[in-house]
Chain A
Amino acid sequence: MSWFKRIKAGITTRTLEKKETPEGLWHKCASCKRIAPMKDHIERNYVCEKCGYHERIGSKDYFKILFDENQFTEINAGLVSDDPLNFSDTKKYTDRLEEAIKKTHLNDAVRTAYGKINSNDLMIACMDFSFIGGSMGSVMGEKISRAIDECIVKKTPLLVISKSGGARMMEAAFSLMQMAKTSSKLTLLSKEKIPYFSLMTDPTTGGVTASFAMLGDVNMAEPGALIGFAGPRVVKETIRKDLPKGFQTSEFVLEHGFLDFIIDRRQLKKRLTSLITFFKN
Chain B
Amino acid sequence: MNYLDFEKPIEELTTLLEKTKEIASKGKVGVSKAIAELEEKLIQAKKDIYGNLTPWQRVQLSRHPDRPYSLEYIQSITDNTFIELFGDRNIGDDKAVVGGMGMVNGQTIMFIGQQKGSTTKQRQYRNFGMMNPEGYRKALRLMKLAEKFNKPVVTLIDTPGAYPGLEAEERGQGEAIARSIYEMSKLEIPVICIIIGEGASGGALGIGIGDRVLMLENTWYSVISPESCSSILWRSWDFKEKAADALKLTATDMLSLSLVDGIIPEPLGGAHSNHEEMFGIVKEYILNTLAELKKFTPAARIERRINRFSSMGVFIDLEKEMTPAEAASLNR
Contact = CB atoms under 8 A, between A and B. Distances in A.
Interface in B206-234: 206, 208-209, 221-224, 229, 232-234
B246 A180 contact: no
Interface string A150-185: 000000000000000001010111111111110111
Contacts of A230: 162, 164-165, 168-169, 173
Contacts of B235: 90
Interface centre among B169, B239, B243 (most CB of A within 10 A): B169
B295 interface: no
Which residue, A141, A230, A238, has most C-beta atoms of chain B within 10 A?
A230
Q: Which of B166, B178, B185, B235 has the most CB atoms of chain A within a 10 A radius of its CB?
A: B178
Contact of B209 (A107, A180, A215): A180
Contact of A79 (B174, B233, B316): B316
A167 B186 CA distance: 23
A180 B316 contact: no
A26 interface: no
Contacts of B201: 167, 176, 207
B257 A181 contact: no
Contacts of B306: 184-185, 187-188
A105 B330 CA distance: 11
A142 B314 CA distance: 9
B179 A176 contact: no
A72 B77 CA distance: 57
Contacts of A239: 165-166
A225 B260 CA distance: 36
A210 B173 contact: yes
B282 interface: no
B59 to A, nearest CB: 13
Interface stretch (A12-20, A80-88, A263-271): A80-88
B172 A257 contact: yes
Contacts of A105: 332
Contact of A145 (B162, B178, B310): B310
Contacts of A107: 318, 330
Contacts of A228: 169, 173-174
A181 B257 CA distance: 16
Which of B168, B248, B312 has most A Cβ within 10 Å?
Answer: B312
B332 A173 contact: no
B249 interface: yes
A256 B172 contact: yes
A105 B332 CA distance: 9
A77 B259 contact: no
B259 A177 contact: yes
A172 B248 contact: yes
The winner among A113, A211, A229, A241 for most chain B CB atoms within 10 A is: A229
Interface in A60-102: 60, 73-74, 76-82, 84-85, 87-90
Interface string A229-250: 1100011001101011001100
Given A78-B319, A258-B172, A174 B313 contact: yes
Interface of B: 162-166, 168-175, 177-179, 181-182, 185-186, 201-202, 205-206, 208-209, 221-224, 229, 232-235, 239, 242-243, 246-249, 254, 257, 259, 305-306, 309-310, 312-320, 322, 327, 330-332
